[in-house]
Each structure stands twice: as structure tokens, then as C-alpha cells.
Structure 1
Amino acid sequence: MKTAEIARRFLAYFEKNDHTIVPSASLVTDDPALLFTVAGMVPFIPYLSGDVPPPYPRAADNQKCIRTNDIEEVGKTPRHGTFFQMLGNWSFGDYFKRDAIGYAWELLTMPEDEGGLGFDPADLWVTVYEEDDEAYDLWREVARLPEDRIQRLGKDTNYWSTGLPGPAGPCSEIFFDLGPEYGIDGGPATDDDRYVEIWNLVFMQYEITNVRSKYDFDVVGELPAKNIDTGMGLERIAFIKQGVDNMYETDQVRPVLDKAVELSGRTYGADHEDDVRFRVVADHVRSSLMLLADGVTPSNDGRGYILRRLMRRVIRSMRLLGVERPTFAELFAVSRDAMAEAYPVVAEDWARISQYAIAEEETFLRTLAAGSALLDDSLAQTKASGGTTIPGSEAFLLHDTYGFPIDLTLEIAQEAGLTVDRAAFDTLMQEQRQRAKADARARKRQLADTSVYRDLRARGETVFTGYTDLQTESTVLGILVDGMSVDRAATGQIAEIILAETALYAESGGQVADKGIIVGPGYELDVLDVQKPVAGLISHTVEVTSGEVGVGQPATSVVDAENRRGARQAHSATHLVHAALRDTLGRSATQAGSLNRAGYLRFDFSWGQALSDDTKTEIEEIANNAVRESLEVTTRVLPLDEARSLGAIALFGEKYGDKVRMVDIGGPWSRELCAGTHVSTSAEVGLISLVGESSVGASNRRVEALVGLDAFRQLAAERALVSQLTSTLKTPREQLPARIAELTASLKAAEKKIAAYEAKALADRLPALVEKATAVGPHRVVAESLGTASSADDVRSLALQVRDRLGADATVVALGAELNGRPVVVVATNEAARSAGAKAGVLAKAAATALGGGGGGRDDVAQGGGTDASALPSALAAVKGALNAA
């Protein structure tokens, strides 16, 4: 049974049992404490916690997940994967244990020809929380399981909580017995790989507090509405139903493994280490494909770093399998074909996905080349010193700074007959992990407690009226000060105000929050920010500028009309620029982020190289032509599937509900899903002027533009500048570039001539400087200030000439000069001086200290500098003093 068919049967079964089928949320979660959707429950947390009223009483889904905390186990066990799919059925205060157990058992054991999964009941075991007699009895009654196949286990395995105050409850897990050839008898309690957990039923029935650890807390009492949260691992069901030994050999993963075998020329199943590498490649290619499809791009931090790490582990594994040439074009194409039936987007967006994958592989192969050169130096130095071990710190530097995998370092060192101090490397890695965990804990502690909004959200969604109105009368539903609910807020206080209706736009979709005020009887509030702390609720951060505001009072939200006009212009201009980019560069130039505020827009898009001046001009012209044509801007609210069928562009990673708002500019010319505010016709945008284009990552570019009156002012300023240049240079406007180029060339020639004169003047001082040599201890020393010089290279060259002219005696030369107002001292020593203890780097450091700066270098020549040019005599004296001390 194919993986996609298992998912289809699961969803069909629960749809037949009155569950709303919910599409998978993005792998990119908006939970600030998480990088990814790590479990099936993540999208439903607001409903399970009671922060947001659920839109349906029961639901089912197939949720995409990414989890990398066990990444080192991938390929080593039958079921550790970074990307996985979690089938789940959910009840929000509707059914509870009896029905949850009944649904799970019926679907699992129903014959395949009746639409079930066809498991033999004799192969299934169940665990329950040791104190959950109700679940135990229900398994006996509903499933008719014998007592010896129901095992009671403790909190560490059969009790669910987030580790934070809130909902919690016991769980019951269903296991499949692979058979005696896979391990010992005794059921799941043996913790043996023979028993594979396939489904977990969480009975969310208690409220907990005083959480001391994940398994140590106080139970406050039962929840008013008990929830069901289940998760069935799709990959685990698939490898059992397909009769293979692990998830890597299932129909959605095995094709990539087979391609890796073909490319390497090695055999799967012949060598354990190779088998692990093949599985890592298969798992990580699929995970990378799905992350790219959800809009994640490789980078050095956050989600992008995780993606980069997965992709680089693929390259490393292929290299260890003997393949050093690029392979992503072939591996990712195979994964695309395997996943397209379940996720058509991987084929529809293949051009963009493959562009990122191939670019990342090319970049890392160059990194490997650079890292290999650094490692070769380390190997040579270790051998030259008579050592046999590369320091762990150097291996860590290669890994952490250059992305050079430790396994590759170990392999290359072994080939050279050396070892790596792995213990020191592991210590440094552990310290890095602890820092990362501390940072994650800090983020979790800083996460706002959304439970304060629960009661307010339960009264319904905040109605946003700002699409049509700039002023709306409403009522104060709630006031928060320092995260606590209060009845009133007085003059001078900063507070959050929740209204039943508001005309003020909350920051989202790249558009910044509206500016404005909220007024009522006897009070006025200055709006500092507008946000959506939980879905459907709008919160206004305000300063009470006069009077006192209380819950239940009338309130009128008033939008700053001029600022809103500018924001509308910028947001519509962003859509025009996006359409112009796609017209010019093609469909693969997709949006990766944006920022719109009055008079300004910033737009990030996927593209691997800088735009030429001609391309930027073309984009700007297309966008402004759309402005000139006064295209009609219309909005429609319609089902998500219908909007997509009409070609509406969605922003990667953005969460969309069943109903979406689609913004058309000129009909299908620009058609995007967007909740922002827009102009009525494109002519209202006024003017778009591109002012910047830059890189924001290996495969992302950014364009910036001024809009409307701000664009006009910028162009007017440039016109004034051109006018001033034509007047000053007495050159017609059209001849300015040639005239400026001519003046620049003349200036460079003059500067070169002056530098040559200055260098000659310094060189002419060589005999006089040699004559000034004096004895300081065993050394002949020249310590002189040259006055001003054009470059440090000239000073260095003269110092070396003086040193060489003084012959084989122990010689130290220290020459100081002023370069553009800043002092520099160059120290040069010969071999005899160094043998006598004079090190140029030490002496330069002594000089730099006197100059108020820093310095150093090699033993034979070094340089120091600072900020106080008047201290040059003291710096030269410090060199002599250091020689005397030595």
C-alpha cells in the first residue's frame, strides 16, 4: 500500500465520521518558540489551549513535520527521519476516550477491501498511563484486547504535557509487533525495536500548574472542555504495510536511495556504514526538498541554517560514498517525482526549488575545497612539529566557521596517518549546543503568555473595518498592562487595548501597523503599535495621553489618513514590482519577504545573481507603466483552492485559512493573496523609483524603492544635484559622465605622480637614516620619524632597505610616519637581532601602546598604529626601551 494511499484512507475514514479535513500547515510555524512544525499538534495549539475558539468540533489532517533533534540517529534506526508526516484526528470538547479508541481500532483493523488498513489485531499491543483505569477498561471493552497485550507505563512514556502550565493528560499508544526475528518477547514495556509505536492517543483532560519538570507538576483539576489529540506516523505505517525494514525503503524515500546507489556504484546492504550514508542521503534530500517547497532557503542562521546543515550532510555522505561531483540535480529530481503525488507543489515550483538546491551544492563544494586547503596546512604543520594529532580546536574551527564536516576531517587525517583530538572537538561542540539550548530556553521564557487573551478571543474575532473606514466607533473589551488584565489605565501608562471593532490595521503581510489615535469620553490614546497576538484578535499598544480609559467604555479608533494613504501606495507598489520582476525574470523570481510603509517598499525575491542596470530600468519601467495605465484594483474573498486555481500567488510560509482575500491589479496581471490595504487604481500609487538592489543571501536579492511623493522628492533632489554639477563643471548635462570620468582619471594620475615623488623623497633619505644608527645593547638601532608619508607600504619598504644596508650585525629599524593624520610605526629586524631576542612583533606592539592603538606581526617585520600622531616620538622611544629591557 503506497504512502499516499494510506493517507487517503485515513482522511476518508475520518471525513466519513464527521471530521473536517484540514490541509497541512506549512513546515514554517509562526510560533516564536519553534523553528518548524515539529509535531502534528502545533497548528492546533491555539484551539487545544483554549486561546482561540476552534472553528470545528472535530478535525483530521496529514501534517508535514520537521524534527532534527535526533539528526545523528538518522539512518541508524528503522524510524528516525527528519521529515515525517503525522496523521491526526482531533476533538475540541466533542468526543473523548471511548470514541478516540474506537476510531483508531476500527481504522487499523478494518480489512483493506473495506477501506481500512488491514492490520491483524493479534499483531497490535497497547500501552496506557499506569493510573488511567478508564482507558484500560475501554481497550478491553471497545477493542476486546486481552489483558496481556495492554501494558501500564509511567509518566515518562504515557503522559503528555508541554512542560509549561496549561493543558495536560494521559496518553495511550498503539504498537505493532514486527515478530520474534526482530527482538525479544514481552511487549512495548521491553523498549525493544521489535515493537514499533504507530499511533499515540492523547487524552487532554487536566489543567496543570507549578510545573517543576515535564513530569513533575500539580494538577489543578479537569479541563472544562476535554480534547483529543492523536498522531499516527505515516512513514511507520508505510514501512510496515509495504513489508520493508525501515522508513528509508518506502515508496516516497527509496527512489532517492536507489539513485545514490547508482551514482556511487556501491551496493546497498553490503556494508553497514555505507547503508547509513545511503539512508541519510535519502532522508535529507526529501527533507530539504520539502523545506524548499515551503519557502525556507539556505542561510547561516535559524531555519535556513537547519536546511543548509541537511543539504551539507547529503554532500558529505555522497563524498564518503566516493562521489565528489555535483549530484543534487539528479537526487532532488528523483525526490520530486516520488513526492509529487502527495505534494504537487514540488513539481509546480521545481524551477525555484532546483535553483536553490544546485546553488547551495555549488557553494558547499567550493567550501570543501577551501576547507581542504586549510586542513592540508594543519596536517603539514602537525607533521612538521613531529605531532600525530590535529588539535580539536582546529577541527572545530573548520566545522563551525567553514562548514567542514568532522567526519571528513577524520577521514582525511586518517589517510595522512594522523588522528584528531576528538574529545576536545566534542567538548567544544557540547559547549556550542549548550549555548544554543540556553538561547532556545531564553526564547521560550520570553514568549508571551497568550492565555491572557483567551477570554477576550472567546467573545469573537476583532472586526477590522479599515478596508472601507478610517474611523470606527466601538467598545473597550479589555485592557492589559505589563501582560496582566486590568480594569483601567490612566494618563502616562502604556497599555494594550482590545476593541470589538477597529479601523486600525495590525502589522501583517509586510505592511507595518497603522498610526492613529483612540478616543473616548474623557480620554485620548496615542497608538504606538497594532498587532495580532492570537489569531483573530487585534491588540493596540497605546500611551494614555490624557484622561483614564476603562473596560466597557465607548472607543473610537481613528486612522492617520496621510500615513495610511502612503502605506496603501507602498503596498500596491510592492505588488506592481513583484509582477514586473516576474515579467522580466520569469516565474522563478518568487517573493521571499517584503516591507511596506508610507513612501517606501522593500521586496526580497529568489534570484541567484545581481540585476544589471538595464534589467532594473526595465522592471522600473514596467511597474510605472502599470501606474500610468490606471489599472483597477479589486479584492475578493473566496475559497483558498479557488484562488489558487485562478493563479493567485501566495507568500511562502504564510498561514491561510479556508477563505482568503485575493487582490487583483489589472485583472490577472497581478493576482496575489493579501490581507493588506491597497489603492483603488494603480494611478494612485503616483510614482515608483528603484533606489537599491542588493544580495540578502546566496540565492536571494532585495530591491528597494521609494513611492509616491517620496519618490518625487528623491528625483527632484537628484535633478538639483545634476544642475549643480553642470553649473560647477560648466558642462552640458548629457556630457557630465564623460567629464567626470576625465576629471577622475586626471586626479588618479596626479595622485600617482605625487605618490611617486613622495616615495622617491623617502628613498633619498636612506643614506642619512643609515648614518643615524646608534647602539642599544647588542643592537644597532635606527628609530626615526619620517614626518608624513603616502602609504604604509612606502614606510615598510624604506625600513627594510635601511635594515639591509646596515649589514649582518644585529639590526633593528623602527620608522614612524603620519598617514592621513594617523600614526604608524614599522619595525624590521634581521636574523642576528632576532637571535639576540629582538622580535619585531613585540617591539611594534610596544610602539602601538604609546600611540593609543594596537599592533603586531611577524618576528622579522611588524607594524603598529594608533590615533595620536603627536605621540610618535614616544612610540619610537618605547621601541628602544623595550630593547633595553630585553
Structure 2
Amino acid sequence: MEKLGMNEIREKYLSFFESKGHLRLPSFSLVPKNDKSLLLINAGMAPLKPYFTGKEIPPSRRVTTCQKCIRTPDIDRVGKTARHGTFFEMLGNFSFGDYFKKEAIPWAWEFVTKVLELPEDRLWVTIYENDDEAFEIWNKVVGLPPERIVRMGKEDNFWEIGTGPCGPCSEIYFDRGEDKGCGKPTCGVGCDCDRFIEFWNLVFTQFDKDAEGNYNPLPKPNIDTGMGLERIATIMQEVDSIFDVDVIRGITDYVGKMAGVKYGADKKSDVSLRVITDHIRGVTFMISDGILPSNEGRGYVLRRLLRRAARYGKLLGLDRPFLYDVVDVVVEHYKGAYPEIQERKEYIKKVIKKEEERFKETIDQGLDILDGYINDLKASGKNVLEGSKAFKLYDTYGFPIELTKEILSESGMSVDEDGYQKELENQRLRARSSRKEDNALWEKDIYSTMKDIETKFVGYEAFKSDAKVLAIIKDDELVNSAEAGEEVNIILDMTPFYAESGGQVGDSGIIKSEDVYINIKDCKKAGGNKFVHIGTIERGILNVGDTVEAIIDEKNRMSTARNHTATHLLHSALRKFIGDHVHQAGSLVTPDRLRFDFTHYQALTAYEIKMIEDEVNEKIYESIGVSIDIMSQDEAIKKGAMALFQEKYGDVVRVVNISDYSKELCGGTHVTNTIQIGAFKIIAESGVAAGVRRIEAVTGLGALEFLNKKGELISNIEQILKVNEKDIVDRIADLSQTIKDLERQLEQLKSKVVLSMSDKLINSAEDINGIKFVSATLNDLDVDELKMMGDILKDRLKSTVIILATIRDEKINFVGMATKDAIERGINVGNIIREICQVADGKGGGRADMAQGVGNNLEKINIALETSRSLFIEKLK
């Protein structure tokens, strides 16, 4: 067999199934669309679920893809084994009720033996134990000897998730040779050793499992196959690890060169190199698909991968941000199959670099915490750090256990690794229980049962149309009729109503006939091309089969169109003045306003906002024609049309062209000339996530109304300040300066009060074994003034521990401070504050030298302060 590269195998697979009548689709985004059961796409079939369930009509009954995937359950094993990774590519061929086993099995055999030229005598297959049909095809049609067809039980060779579509599967294995085996007499397919490697799973979805556990045959069974690209490349290139495959090894070697280490020379550094190589691939593709680092959801997965890679870089001596540089190598290897990462490369690098810099600050905080732990251990005469504290460093501050152990060893200390592992396992159990497989997407909704119902949309050309009622849904059930006062969902055979899509809200309006009047408040799309009109019957009785007239609210439609076309102008203006890294990251277009989210790392200046606003208005007043062109997606991209991050387009697309200024793929409604927008006014600019900004704007009459309200506001300010409009700014500046002067005087008075009070506290300080102890309630001071008082006392008393309290807003605020020599003698005010806050039914904590907290029980303030003195005496050595 030829040692094919990953990129060659990918292309051969997709081309092969194209020759078998399959439509090649590009990889779907890693962000699941309309699928709450998944955080990230984790299998080739995952984005195709709506086609399998009938909720949506596939673009072809035969499809082939190479799908990028992320899986994180085994993230802690990545780097430590040759097989585990979080990012991978899944090759697949799919049939939606078209062909079945007698085609899928021979095609699979043809591909692996004729195209990849794998030796037939080293191929084995497994089938479900009761699947005689698959056995006959493998044996009689393909010609595979019976002894190389292994029957396995339900656990291994039957695919199902709860209820819904399911079926037997057949897996293809490659025998890597006796030298890779375990040597046991029982060694064979299914053994845990590295000899027999499974690389392709053919799933025959032929049953529908109901709630009672019955397996009902599907009238049109499906085919779902998955072949791991990295795994088949490992076989083809005769290497032992996915990290030795050509494309991946290129990234690993680059990272090794950066760090000055060679892959394969040291087991410890190899782990770091593998982690970085795996994670940077996943990170690159996640950011390309519009995901940004955050503390929840898929953003948290991205942040965790990024930080895990960064901290393993630290173990290699890479203390500076470096991951963003590795993106160049990832893009170079993958841009042929995924050209979008080349287009978004600079943006991806900026996101990564920003997160690396943020992580460096976090890990520096972790070092401070670890230093505090070391000081506490020294003070208590111990040399083993608790496992829970080591885990906190890992979980909160990104410290790998290896780094913690290394730093502790420099002080002659170690970690309770059993305790650490226990905390780690507890976290895994919590993660598993919180993300059980959700079957919601496999459950049939009322719309997926309507196989032959479709709506023709005529709303691009018309504001009203005659239509026939195809279905009425009331309380999630199909009904034949509905009457006045009832809320219903109506599906028509034809409609001018735009269904919510691409950020544009659905149309409102009416459906009527001579006897019926229905107020429609919204329109949405259901499975396939079903337009669901949501409304209330105001008069009459509506029946399935009735002929009605559907009329949209023309005024609302035009207002929405103005705002939608304005978003396209805004997008182009942002790219012109802010940079090519700007991409749409979300939008909302309503009749009242537009909201546009875009990728950018800092707030726009007032000057930039004005330039963008002026640019859009200039294009409006140039009276540019807005044309709509229908063409193939490839042709549209070649002509420079922009596609959005997470949108999926069909073969034929709609291009909205505003001269040569803006050209975007878009299914929304638009004006025919920019002059119809009237005016454009930005009313807000803000941040919505790391690296994402938001602009809100109004157009037409909305812009006029906004400006009128501004005029009223200025008029009111004139009356209050008793000045003319031209003098408002100067008057406010004078008032602002007066306020600053008064605030400065107030601060000076506060300092004098604190100084005078400090004399009394110094006189009341108690000397205990050479350390002064001060505790007091100072209700005349706020928390910041307590801190000021603490600093003054530390400076004047030299060797001291200070615990101060004040009552504010029905809560006790505690502040604690300690000098260095007190800490060396065993004092940790973070622990003292934590305990006295608990006495007062609250929470608190902090560092050994400074801490604060809150108590909720005002009656326990004196007990808390007495407790602080007892703790001070107890801990002082």
C-alpha cells in the first residue's frame, strides 16, 4: 500500500463517493445549529441529524463529508497516549432513505482495497451478532472469508441513543501484525492491544426504537458511516501514533523547534509537544467558526484547550505567548481543505495572543497563591501540600500538577497526589452527570411527521398572495379546524411572510378570507420548507383546505428591509475603517432597529464611530441600486461575496449586491435602492464578549425619532442649567470641576479623621509576645477608609496584626492586615478573616498579609472580634 498523506486520503475519499452519486458538502461549523443536545460537533453525522429525523430536507439523498470534530471527555489523556486527541476529522458517507447495506458494504470494501490498496489479507470486519444480512454481503458479495467476519454483541456493534433511529453496525479493522499484539492466545479483533485497529464504522440505521423498547423497522433505512482520518493515515503511513502522521508531525516538529526540544528524545517533553499540537489544531478551527474564549459553554472548552496548551508550553520553557505563532503552520497544512482558516488567520492569531496574555496574568496569580501555600507549610512545619489545594491551583489558575510538584520540590516539599487524583475524579464525575446525552433532537416533533408538506415563499416579489391551508397546529397537535379566540400555527402552500432567519425577524400581518380573520404576529421555519404562521383567530372558523389571502404588514417589512440593507453597508464600512479582520459575529434585524455584532478587540473611538456613520450615510445618499443575483456558491465566493461564520448555504445562493461596495450571501429582504434607507444613526457601541463588539443603530423614521428625542433632551438640559445650547458643554465642565474640587476636599477631611482616630487605636494596641494586636469597630468609616486606617497602623506600629470592622448597608465589613514578621510567626489574616466571617454568618478570606470579608449577623460583631483575638493568640509562635 502507498504511504498516502492526510490531505491525499481526504480527497480520495470524497472523490470516490462523489463518483458514487454523493453530494460533497464542506465541513459544517463546529458550532451545532439548532441542536441543544451538543456543545460542539463531535461526529460526522452530528450536523446531519435533522436530515435523518426528517426535520429538514437534505440537499441530496446521498451526501459525503469530511467533518471537523471536537471531543473532550478524555482531555486529560491527551498527550499521555498515542491515540487520544480532542480535535479530529471524520470522513463519512450518508444515505437518507436511498441506498442501504448491499451498496454501502461493497463500496467500503472497494475504497479500502482498490483506492487505498490496503492488503485484503490484513482486513477484518465485525458485525452485529444477529445481522445475517450483513454477513451474507461481506461473505458472498465481497468475498471475505467467514473466519474474518466476527460477530459481536449489542454493546460493540449496535448503535442507539435512548429512543429513536438506531441499528446494527459493521466495523472494519486492520491487522498491524503480530509484533504489535499482546502475545496472548486469545488476541484477536476486539483485543485491547495495538494489533487490530478499527478505522471505519458502517452504521445501518434500520429501526425506530419506541418508549416501550420495541424496535420498529424504518420504511426507509439510512446509512451513516464514519472513518477517522487521522487513524486511517496512521495505518497508511505505518506509524505508531496520530502525532507521527505527516500533517500533525509537521506541527509537532515546529513546536519542538520553538522550544529547543526534539520530539521522541524525552517522554516528558513529548507529552507537552503532543498536548500543544492537538490543542492548537482544535483552537484554530474553533475560533475560525466564531467561538471565543469565555467562562461558560463552548467558550470555556476553547479557553481550557488554549490554557492547557499554554501551560504545557511553560513546562517546555516557553514563558512568552507562542501559540498564536503556531497558527501559521496549522493554516499552511489545512488551508487546502478548509480555505476559511486562511481568510481568518490574522483574526485567529489575535484572539489566541490576547488569551495567552490574559492567561499569563492568571498563572502569575497562581504563583502568588502557591507561594502563600509554601509559606503556610513552612510556618506549620509541614512539607506535603494538600491534594485539594493542588487541585485548586490546577482548576482555577491553570497549574498542571507537574508544575506544582516542580516548584514545591525546590523547597523540599511534595504534593498529596492521592488527594489530588480524588478531586480530579470528582470533577470528572460531576462533568459526566451534568452532560448526559440528550436525546431531544432524535425525538420527533409534530413538523417532522409532515413529510409531504412544503411552503413556497413568494415574499421577495409580493406583499400578499392567495394560499391554501395545508395544516393547522393547536397545542402541539394537528387539528382539522380552529375557531375565534384560539392561538394557532398555520402552514400554507404559498406565503409572502418572511420566516425568521439569518438574524432577520419574521413578518407580521394577517391571513383572511370572507369568513375568517387571523392576526399573525410572527413567522418561523419548521423542518424542511414549512413556513409556520403564528397567530390568533380573531373571527370565524379556519379549516384545513380553506383558500385564504395572506397579507404582510408592509410598513414593518419596509422598515426591516431598511435596517437589513443598512447592516450590509455597516459591515463594509467597518472593514474599510477598522480592518479586514472584522467579520459578522451575529445580528438582529427588526422593524425598529438593527443590532450588528462583529469581531474586534477594542472599543471603537468616537472618531471611528463618526467615520463609519458618515460613510454609511454617504452610501445612502449616493442612491445606489441594490441588486439580487442567484448563482452557485462557488461562483459567488469567486466573485468576492462574503459568507458568514456559522451559516450553511446550499449549492444555489442569493447574493445581495450594493454596487461594488458590498456583496454578501444573504436570504433576507432588502430595499431596491440605498436612498430608501433615508438615514442611518448609530445609537450604541458596546462589548458583548471577548473579541466581539456590538453596534446598535436605527434608520429611516427610527433615526428621525431618535434625533427628535435627543433634541428634547438638550432642551431640558438648557432649562435645568439655565444656559443656551452652545454653552451647555462649558457649563457642565465647570460643574464637573467643582465636584472634583469638593471630592478632593472631602478626601482630605477623611484622611484627617482617620489620622486622628489612629492615635486612639495605637494607644489601645495590645502587645502579645512582641506583636501588637489591634481590633476595633469603626462605624464612621467605610471599607476603603478601613484599609487606609490599616495601612497607617502597619506603618506606625511596625510589628502588628489588625482586625477592623464597620457596619454598612445592614452588613458587617471586616478588614484584616498583618506585617511580614507576624506572618513569619504563623499568622495568616486570610484564615482569621475567613473564620470570623463564619462566626458572623458570612464569608471572607484573602492573603496572609491582607484579607477582607462580610458578616450578615450584626449581633455577632463583638463575638467575631473576640474570636479574632483568640485565633491570633492561638496561631502566634
**Can you list the C-alpha shifts for 1:747-789, whole angstroms capped at 9, x where unaligned?**
221343356557768988999999999xxxxxxx999998xx6
**Can you list the C-alpha shifts for 1:314-360, whole angstroms capped at 9, x where unaligned?**
21222222322222243221111111222222223222122222222
C-alpha distance in structure 2 between counterparts of 1:78 and 1:846, whole Å = 49
C-alpha distance in structure 1 between counterparts of 2:77 and 2:227, whole Å = 21
Q: What SS does the corresponding residue of 1:172 show, helix, strand or coil? A: strand
Correspondence list, 1:229-308, <5 A: 229-308=224-303
Q: What amino acid sits opposite 1:168 in the alignment?
A: C
Residue aligning to 2:5:
2
**Can you list the C-alpha shifts for 1:100-153, whole angstroms capped at 9, x where unaligned?**
22111122111xxxxx11111011111111111121122112222222211111
Q: What amino acid sits opposite 2:101 in the alignment?
A: K
Q: Are residue 719 (structure 1) and residue 688 (structure 2) matched?
A: no
The 1:812/1:553 distance shift into structure 2, 3 A limit, reads same
Residue aligning to 1:198:
199
Q: Are residue 360 (structure 1) and residue 355 (structure 2) matched?
A: yes
Shift of 1:530: 2.8
Shift of 1:176: 0.8
The 1:723/1:387 distance shift into structure 2, 3 A limit, reads same
Residue aligning to 2:449:
455
C-alpha distance in structure 1 between counterparts of 2:803 and 2:178, whole Å = 83
Residue aligning to 1:98:
102
Conserved 8 A contact 2:813-2:855: no
**Can you list the C-alpha shifts for 1:239-263, whole angstroms capped at 9, x where unaligned?**
2222322221222211111012212
Unaligned runs of 5+ in 1: 111-115, 212-216, 774-780, 832-838
Residue aligning to 1:144:
143
C-alpha distance in structure 1 between counterparts of 2:278 and 2:127, whole Å = 32
Conserved 8 A contact 2:840-2:864: no
C-alpha distance in structure 1 between counterparts of 2:100 and 2:757, whole Å = 96
Q: What SS does the corresponding residue of 1:479 show, helix, strand or coil? A: strand
Conserved 8 A contact 2:325-2:349: no
Shift of 1:419: 3.6
Q: What amino acid sits opposite 2:88 in the alignment?
A: F
Work out which of the residue numbers 153, 164, 167 in structure 1 matches 2:165. 167
Correspondence list, 1:492-641, <5 A: 492-520=485-513, 522-641=515-634
Conserved 8 A contact 1:3-1:238: yes
The 1:429/1:854 distance shift into structure 2, 3 A limit, reads closer
C-alpha distance in structure 2 between counterparts of 1:880 and 1:278, whole Å = 53
**Can you list the C-alpha shifts for 1:650-677, whole angstroms capped at 9, x where unaligned?**
1111111111111112x22111111112
Shift of 1:734: 4.2
Work out which of the residue numbers 737, 740, 745 in structure 2 matches 1:748. 740
**Can you list the C-alpha shifts for 1:703-757, whole angstroms capped at 9, x where unaligned?**
2223332322222222333344445545554443333222211222134335655
Shift of 1:439: 4.3
Unaligned runs of 5+ in 2: 766-773, 820-830, 872-877
Residue aligning to 2:127:
128
Conserved 8 A contact 2:252-2:277: yes
Conserved 8 A contact 2:840-2:856: no
Shift of 1:5: 1.6
Conserved 8 A contact 1:29-1:653: no
Q: Are residue 14 (structure 1) and residue 17 (structure 2) matched?
A: yes
**Can you list the C-alpha shifts for 1:356-411, whole angstroms capped at 9, x where unaligned?**
22222222222222222222222222332233333344344434444444443344
Shift of 1:522: 4.4
Conserved 8 A contact 1:826-1:861: no
Q: Are residue 351 (structure 1) and residue 346 (structure 2) matched?
A: yes
C-alpha distance in structure 1 between counterparts of 2:551 and 2:155, whole Å = 53
Q: What amino acid sits opposite 1:660 in the alignment?
A: V
Greater mean deviation of Cα atoms: 173-182 or 690-699: 690-699
Conserved 8 A contact 1:256-1:335: yes
Conserved 8 A contact 2:840-2:855: yes
C-alpha distance in structure 2 between counterparts of 1:89 and 1:829, whole Å = 66
Conserved 8 A contact 1:298-1:307: yes
Q: What amino acid sits opposite 1:741 in the alignment?
A: A
Q: What SS does the corresponding residue of 1:622 show, helix, strand or coil? A: helix
C-alpha distance in structure 1 between counterparts of 2:426 and 2:110, whole Å = 49
The 1:490/1:272 distance shift into structure 2, 3 A limit, reads farther
C-alpha distance in structure 2 between counterparts of 1:596 and 1:121, whole Å = 58
Conserved 8 A contact 2:515-2:540: yes
Conserved 8 A contact 1:577-1:623: yes
Conserved 8 A contact 1:816-1:876: no
Q: Are residue 709 (structure 1) and residue 701 (structure 2) matched?
A: yes
Q: Are residue 467 (structure 1) and residue 460 (structure 2) matched?
A: yes
Correspondence list, 1:784-803, <5 A: none
Conserved 8 A contact 2:53-2:444: no
Shift of 1:65: 2.2
Q: What SS does the corresponding residue of 1:252 show, helix, strand or coil? A: helix
Conserved 8 A contact 1:847-1:864: no
C-alpha distance in structure 1 between counterparts of 2:795 and 2:235, whole Å = 80
Greater mean deviation of Cα atoms: 7-16 or 384-393: 384-393
Conserved 8 A contact 1:827-1:844: no
- The count of corresponding residues between Structure 1 and Structure 2 is 848
Conserved 8 A contact 2:463-2:496: yes
Query: Identity of counterpart residues, as a percentage?
Result: 40
Residue aligning to 1:35:
39
C-alpha distance in structure 1 between counterparts of 2:350 and 2:862, whole Å = 61
**Can you list the C-alpha shifts for 1:530-589, whole angstroms capped at 9, x where unaligned?**
322324222233344444433333344332333322222222221111111001012111
The 1:307/1:704 distance shift into structure 2, 3 A limit, reads same
Shift of 1:865: 9.2
**Can you list the C-alpha shifts for 1:134-176, whole angstroms capped at 9, x where unaligned?**
2112211222222221111111111122x13222221111111
Greater mean deviation of Cα atoms: 267-276 or 429-438: 429-438
Shift of 1:848: 8.7
Conserved 8 A contact 2:626-2:672: yes
Q: What amino acid sits opposite 1:33 in the alignment?
A: S
C-alpha distance in structure 1 between counterparts of 2:41 and 2:839, whole Å = 57
Greater mean deviation of Cα atoms: 732-741 or 248-257: 732-741
Q: TM-score, normalised by structure 2?
A: 0.86
Shift of 1:856: 10
Q: Are residue 154 (structure 1) and residue 153 (structure 2) matched?
A: yes
The 1:545/1:164 distance shift into structure 2, 3 A limit, reads farther
Shift of 1:644: 0.7
Conserved 8 A contact 1:295-1:653: yes
Q: What amino acid sits opposite 2:197 in the alignment?
A: V
C-alpha distance in structure 2 between counterparts of 1:68 and 1:782, whole Å = 51
Q: Are residue 224 (structure 1) and residue 219 (structure 2) matched?
A: yes
Q: What SS does the corresponding residue of 1:636 show, helix, strand or coil? A: strand
Shift of 1:507: 1.9
CA RMSD of the aligned region, Å?
Answer: 4.3
Q: What SS does the corresponding residue of 1:84 show, helix, strand or coil? A: strand
Conserved 8 A contact 1:755-1:790: no
C-alpha distance in structure 1 between counterparts of 2:746 and 2:280, whole Å = 60
C-alpha distance in structure 1 between counterparts of 2:301 and 2:815, whole Å = 47
C-alpha distance in structure 2 between counterparts of 1:684 and 1:440, whole Å = 49
Shift of 1:48: 2.4
Q: What amino acid sits opposite 1:688 in the alignment?
A: F
Q: What amino acid sits opposite 1:449 in the alignment?
A: E
Q: TM-score, normalised by structure 1?
A: 0.85
